[in-house]
Structure 1
């Protein structure tokens, strides 16, 4: 399922669980999927721990929502985000939500939003529990966004050997190509990408050091890749085929 850039998204950030250094990369990523009509961030703003966030709120037009930590060991921020998300959901004004946190407490929220037919993008660190990752339509690891704005933290490209040794990745790619292919075994790259997203919300070629899916597929040396002229005679389309299907 693709989201048009004109669609309205609500961006909700857990300040207690996210670093301010990713804000530039985060909003640039969100812009790929839609317009961030609402940007809210939740935390106890009387705490010095959120000082770095305070310095960027005005620059990026993010609305801070104050939530005092009434009881030690309890995360009041999560509750405030969930309540606000449900209020925004019931307005019917949004096409999707971006939930920025590495906390599993938002698993049920993501599932509930999807039940209403809206798209859910999750953003969190690689330590994010799999339950929350799977509850989202698409999950983007913050490490990818951090690498985008800091070359010193760039994710190294996996070699052909390393990619082939990743049995889960190989199985995912091959299954997606097969499910998207015609009788000759060729599959449209975009359709293949959509199929992968349905199977694995956290999949992102950037996790392996590649910008685009086509580059990752080519790097594995497991697929034939062909560029074709579309029916209009002007645009081009990329098709892929499992080399095992080659006759």
Structure 2
């Protein structure tokens, strides 16, 4: 079974993405990672960049003059669709909003394990009803990253979910897959150690050495799922 991650982008800073990914990745395979908010707003420009970089799914929720309530409603609808799909056994709600306490209770009553992520020191009630709750750090760095084509992180996530073991794949296998799938990207990023240097500079991967060789894993691997919501 899989984990669905729903992020209230309107009250969660985009620079918290790395922390969020680091918490949810070990819990289960991530089948859905959705961002909710008015993405026409300049205030969510940073989240738009994060979504493009990591292949996340922004839910384009215009405020329509109704304020943040429309985003909350959209998150509730998607969460209930996930519950009734039967494809997931856990959900993570990323928000510092009291409005999701009732939703968390309903999801748990329906059989889902509920995780929460939000700001520390804010009484939002979600911490008391979630099976496990993670506090966002009070200070999060804004790392400087080298720009890459948005297709590259999306490709890495796909190849790791399809061919990797728990998201880990040999660097050489990823490079060969890139050659076959996208000669244009391969020409741009492969050769003379450029591939690994690019992935490191863009902070797209974790690394480990194994008996097979150097293995890499994208910061977040979203495993392909049937359409929900």
What's the TM-score, normalizing by structure 2?
A: 0.58
Contact 2:96 2:124 in 1 (8 A): no
Distance 2:100 2:9 in 1: 14
Partner of 1:122: 116
Distance 1:55 1:130 in 2: 28
Contact 2:104 2:126 in 1 (8 A): yes
Which segments of structure 1 move beyond 6 Å, counting only runs of 4 or more? none
Partner of 2:25: 31
Show structure 1 runs of 5+ residues with no match: 1-6, 152-247
Superposition pairs of residues 19-168 of structure 1, within 5 angstroms:
19-143=13-137
Higher RCO structure (Cα 8 Å, ≥6 apart): 2
Contact 1:104 1:128 in 2 (8 A): no
Q: 1:117 to 1:30 in 2, by over 3 A?
A: same
Work out which of the two has the higher radius of gyration on C-alpha atoms and give 1 or 2. Answer: 1
What's the TM-score, normalizing by structure 1?
A: 0.54
Distance 2:62 2:36 in 1: 10
Deviation at 1:89, TM superposition (A): 0.7
How many residues were matched structurally? 143
Aligned Cα root-mean-square deviation (Å): 1.9
